[in-house]
Amino acid sequence: MAQTFKTVDPPALRPARAIPVMALRPTAKWGRLGPGAFTWATLFCCLVLQRFAIPAGGELKISVATPLVLGLAVWALASGTLVIERRRMALYFGLCAMAIFSVGSQINLPLAIAPRMSVTSLAYWLAITAFAVLRFRHSVSETTFFRIVSICLAVVAVAGLAQFILQFAGISFFAFSGVVPDSLLIEEQYAVTIPIDRGLNRSNGLFLVEPSVFSQFMAVGVIVEALYFRRAAYLALFFAALLVSVSGTGWMVLGSYIIVLAVSSGGRGLLGAILLAAACALAFTALSLVLPDVADMMSSRVSEFTLPGTSGHERFVTPFLALQTLYEAAPWSVVTGVGPGASEQLIIPYIYHLNTPVKVLMEYGAFGLVLYLGLLTWGTRTKRQAMLLAPLMVLLLLTGGYHQFSPILFAVLLIGTVAFVHEDSTGA
């Protein structure tokens, strides 16, 4: 049964500055896209359709979530369900200004550091980042909103667990290639299938592009359940799905929540953090007994941070090595940046990956990074929703370069920034 919202504006949560799009609002009720329908549709596009794309000429593809979610946003704006938050719009305009300024700075960038880049990726990034300036016009019940989030994540969790278990029966389905035309997929850009041992593969949640992404969203599922509903069956489901992804980034997201819980909620929060940490240990112990090879592989990944050539070293160490190299060659870039795309084309003698903060810092300078972080985090939140912000930012900023991957960007922004919710007395 579809979830419905009662939208109200409690005095404590009523925002002072928003730009309603009154002229576009349709009068017919049948044409209105309410907050419940918008949430369901957006999460479906971001989670279930994550691997699908639209050909954009040549080898270029655009995630199908990009036009679908932006189209839904325009519809919701026209319906009066969404409005533009003025303060975030000001931050967005500042970010656009810094981006344009950085394009000019490429003229002074030595070609020995990086080649000249086009601004196509800049236009795309600014287009999808504009989603962050939106919010619900009226606050909605937080338990109803997060129940929708939990149900959507549970569907992905069930699919991922079934995918992993069916391997033992000789049924392996990890990619849509061969079922859906490759021109409509973006699977070739991601590590969709990653082997473990004994012919097994890490679960990718069936619909998600990588096991690491699956693990991150399952961690969000655990956090939402721990914050709002505390249903043992759902917690067990999300923990099991997190384990079969065999990925460390989901545990990073979950660990950030445990830290927030321990330091921001007093004695009860500390007790909750201890209990959740104990649940993590219990889940890992269970995995060690059932699938010891998988548990050993997860344990061994902790040492990757100090081993050049490993994924852990490339993801979490090389970004800062590349940043140091850039600043040694072009120290002025700390203010101006080196322009869109240049950070990914640095001519340095080792393989490196970039996380989102380092990439934005390199390309748009320190002011650009501050404006971007402000755009993502500025907003009115309830106490429980605010506790989700740090894990969501870890997911978006530190576990991969997802700021230009609209299915993850839109989902994170919807949960943490666009959703304007209020506490209610209905319980879970």
In a domain, 6, yes or no: no
CA-nearest of 380, 365, 319, 299 to 97 is: 365
Place of tokens 């000019």: 104
In a domain, 146, yes or no: yes
Whole-angstrom distance, CA of residue 253 vs CA of residue 250 = 5
**pLDDT for residue 411:** 97
Cα dist from 27 to 30, 81, 164, 235, whole Å: 9, 13, 48, 42
Residue 82 · residue 135 · CB < 8 Å: yes
**pLDDT for residue 109:** 59
Q: What residue type is assigned to position 195 of the chain?
A: P
In a domain, 398, yes or no: yes
Torsion over CA: 406, 412, 414, 416 (sign): negative
Q: What residue type is assigned to position 307 of the chain?
A: L
**pLDDT for residue 297:** 61
Q: What residue type is assigned to position 50 of the chain?
A: Q
**pLDDT for residue 334:** 86
| Ramachandran quadrant class, 354 (left: phi over 0; alpha: psi -120 to 50; beta: rest) | beta
**pLDDT for residue 279:** 78
Query: Can you give the residue range of the structural domain that contains 373?
Result: 18-422
In a domain, 11, yes or no: no
In a domain, 184, yes or no: yes
In a domain, 119, yes or no: yes
Phi, psi of 19 (to 5 degrees): -110, 100
**pLDDT for residue 213:** 95
Angle between helix 232-244 and helix 249-264 axes, rounded to 10 deg: 140
**pLDDT for residue 75:** 96
In a domain, 173, yes or no: yes
Query: What does the pLDDT profile of the chain (428 residues) look like in tens digits?
Result: 455 666 555 544 555 456 554 434 444 455 789 999 999 999 999 999 999 999 877 678 899 999 999 999 999 999 999 999 999 999 999 999 998 888 877 666 555 455 556 677 788 899 999 999 999 999 999 999 999 999 999 999 999 999 999 998 888 899 998 889 988 999 888 888 888 777 788 999 999 999 999 999 999 999 999 999 999 999 999 999 998 998 888 989 999 999 888 887 666 667 777 777 887 777 777 766 666 666 666 555 555 555 555 565 666 778 888 888 888 877 877 888 888 877 777 777 777 888 889 889 988 889 999 999 999 999 889 999 999 999 999 999 988 778 889 999 999 999 999 999 999 864 44
In a domain, 107, yes or no: yes
**pLDDT for residue 19:** 58
**pLDDT for residue 115:** 57
Q: Domains in the chain: how many in total?
A: 1
Whole-angstrom distance, CA of residue 185 vs CA of residue 177 = 7
Residue 82 · residue 69 · CB < 8 Å: no
**374 C-beta neighbours (distance < 10 Å), count:** 17
